[in-house]
Amino acid sequence: MKILLYLLLSSSLLFASIGKITSAKGEVFVERNSKQALAKAGYILEENDKVITKNKSRALLLFTDKTSITMGKNSSLQVNDYVFDPKVKVKNKAKFKFAKGLFRTITGKIGKLNPNKFKLKVRSATIGIRGSDGTSRVLANGDVTHTTNDGGFTLTNDKTGQTVVIPKGSTGVFNVKGLKVAPSTQADLDDGNEVEDSEEEKKEKEKEKAKEDKEKKDKEDKEKKDKEDKEKKDKEDKEKKDKEEKEKKDKDDKEKKEKDDKEKKDKD
């Protein structure tokens, strides 16, 4: 009974986990089920969690598909929807709500498997992806500025449906005046620098990548060994069968010869 309970609990925790906070500086909180907890590096994230950073604080969130979101100071983010299933392409989706603050998003496997289902939501607009690296500044009134560092993003006015494309090196702005896109200014680039990975965060990402690469190699090595073991067993089984069939044939041939010899002798 205890073993069954442990397995059920482990399974539920496995499916509940969608990522973790890999770096937390200053005061970082996670709000879950109307309760707020102080979060440190290693804090496990679940769907519908809200992550909040206070003044002079920042956090790096790394999700299971390797999407990373760096949050600057006085920022608030909620995971509205998250499903990662590398085996079923159409199941993959992610929706993050940026309430306020500064965010740098580097998309992972969901962005490659099902890019149309990867959304960054603000109050009255949606940021879609066509690339991999972008910085978003969201004001409390819903105004948003998004700079594309690599690849491309889209910015859509949810009320009118108007969409603009934000290519690399450009910044899109959404406010009461509407939507516009222009080459990135130094101020836009400075936003990106504020949430650029620290040396510690870079090392953490490298550590996670090394772990993923090792797991991939271990899996490939195991599959190769399993294949070789199967081929070896199949060969041994065939050799054994061939030997048994030969021994049976030799025995049958011997018995037939002895019978023929006897019949010949009796006839003589």
- Overall average pLDDT of the 258-262 stretch: 82
Q: What is the rounded CA–CA span in Å between residue 239 and residue 230? A: 14
- Give all strands (DSSP E) within the chain, no chain letters: 17-25, 28-32, 35-38, 43-46, 50-53, 58-63, 68-71, 76-83, 93-106, 118-121, 125-129, 133-138, 144-150, 152-157, 163-167, 170-175, 178-183
Residues 6+ positions from 53 with CB-CB distance below 8 Å: 26, 27, 28, 29, 59, 71, 72, 73, 74, 75, 76, 101
Residue 13 confidence (pLDDT): 43
pTM of the model: 0.71
Residue 261 confidence (pLDDT): 81
Architecture of the 19-196 domain: Sandwich (2.60)
In which band, very low, low, confident or very high, does the pLDDT at 38 lie, cut at 50, 70 and 90? very high
What is the residue-wise DSSP string for 16-52?
HEEEEEEEEES-EEEEETTEEEE--TTEEEETT-EEE
In which band, very low, low, confident or very high, does the pLDDT at 256 lie, cut at 50, 70 and 90? confident
Name the least confident of 8-12, 46-50, 80-84.
Answer: 8-12
Using an 8 Å Cβ cutoff, are 81 and 95 in contact?
Answer: yes
In which band, very low, low, confident or very high, does the pLDDT at 25 lie, cut at 50, 70 and 90? very high
Q: Which two tokens stand for residue 216?
A: 């991939």
Instruction: Quote the mean pLDDT of the chain.
Output: 87
Q: Would you call 250 exposed, middle or buried from its count of C-beta atoms within 10 A (0-12, 13-18, 19+)?
A: exposed
Q: What is the pLDDT of residues 124-149, one digit of tens each?
A: 999 998 768 999 999 988 899 999 99
Higher-confidence position of 81 and 250: 81
Using an 8 Å Cβ cutoff, are 204 and 60 in contact?
Answer: yes
Residue 199 confidence (pLDDT): 67
Domain ranges of the chain: 19-196
